[in-house]
Structure 1
């Protein structure tokens, strides 16, 4: 990964977080990991995620196994069970933090009411919240920009470019800035400087959890997973019909002085700045 230009220890933490995001952000990975809180055979996983075909599910399982998140246990040649590895289990608090942020700070998905024909808000599955949150912070330079704005509070585009992408042309910073602005994570203050919105600032616990996971810091997680039956897909978007895996996590405690250690917004803000777009 190219140097970010940020001073240590920010640079080290940023590298670790970016690498973690590259591992967990590909589409459907969150669904697979959440589903694997209940170990099962390959056919069990297919039944829980019927929208994923063999050509999609099997390669993802292999990559997650290679990344150390999934454990494949072969009892006999015909009896193979998939489950989360220890590293995968330690990732669960991270996923739960991302889901919590999504519930409070992502705009509500909508569906058309068959009677009124109006678009009405619908609830989102936990794995959907996680994947939508990851989609906002995993694009190239997105996390580095959010990180720099968290450290600086407000910054010009030129200053961000020099710290986040020092080897690129200064104008290259505008594309990821535009993405983050459209998605509601970045705004501008009265002086025209870029700054984090309420939704952007509220990502603090997610980055804390990612740092703890990548550094191997202990994080507690108590869950009683219950997988609700997955109904047959009836619409174009399978995430609208799939059930979420319900868990009861225990949030990790953070040490004073950790980067991103301030307290985040506990509830979604009514102002538009507190809501990010999916």
Structure 2
């Protein structure tokens, strides 16, 4: 049988400002990020976009206006935020942001955790992780941190050995032992689902699996343990705006029972709320 992840334990986050009901929010905001009357949020296409549109609809009931700007890559959402085209974005893990900040010098800050998107080993060819054969081609993401994350997943699945104590900084060249002589190739993360027909298996973030219309339960051979996962996604803003009232209001709308229920029903464990 394929390994299917079990019941996922959500983490309770401390109380946040309640933005739904009671007070008017967006209409009362006159300074800061809402001085133009609209909070502009950048997202990547797929689950982040779907969730923010639900948040947008919920906030609109209180006249809190959110504009959702959708990107198809991982570069522009941070560049646009740094350049002031966005008020914040929602698409990336904290670890990914740290890497981008270090490399680019962008003055961006994590504001609040949102969801966790587990990575899985997926295959159209095999039904069990133990079926992977010697010499198989294995696809993994080529983006910063995600290559190492995928390799750690294959290590946890017992297929390779990596240096003791290593983390997501590892690359294919760091593999210590590869008993099946697996041929690891790197590719754009979003392209990996389309490449499943050409490889034995691939390490893919579940959001890309969902985008491709693939059932993660049907094709997943091995999944990250969400309870131990540090790859949490965040709302991110420019550091100068990290205490802006509008961000607290957005968090209040995001981290509601309504949005949590939407995530759980819509994505069926492929995404996990962080609260």
Measured against the shorter chain, the TM-score band is: under 0.3
More helix by share: 1
TM-score (norm 2): 0.27
Higher relative contact order (CA 8 A, sep 6+): 2
TM-score (norm 1): 0.27
More strand by share: 2
